[in-house]
Amino acid sequence: MDGLVHPSMTELYALALHDAPYVIAAYAIIWLGLVGYIVVLMRRMMGLDREVQILQDAVDSVDVKLGKATVPAAKSKGEDQAK
């Protein structure tokens, strides 16, 4: 196998392979941070969706008590995709 690799490249490969664990660790940290950030954003979005739904329900109940015409509630994501 050593005969197939040019001698000057052997030293370069040795240097690159020596630093490979650090590069892999850096990429792993970046990916974990990115995934964690996305999870945090998704949790915030789900919380905001719940708050919007609570507010919508409160507005609808007040409209019913006041006898005002209600606007049809927005369809959930699952209902839109089912059609």
Instruction: State residue 70's pLDDT score.
Output: 56
- Per the listing, tokens 């020596």 go with 18
**Neighbouring C-beta atoms of residue 26, cutoff 10 Å:** 10
Instruction: State residue 32's pLDDT score.
Output: 98
Instruction: State residue 83's pLDDT score.
Output: 47
Decide: pTM greater than 0.75: no
Instruction: State residue 49's pLDDT score.
Output: 97
Instruction: State residue 76's pLDDT score.
Output: 58
Q: Which residue stretches of the chain have pLDDT < 70?
A: 1-3, 5, 69-83
Instruction: State residue 48's pLDDT score.
Output: 97
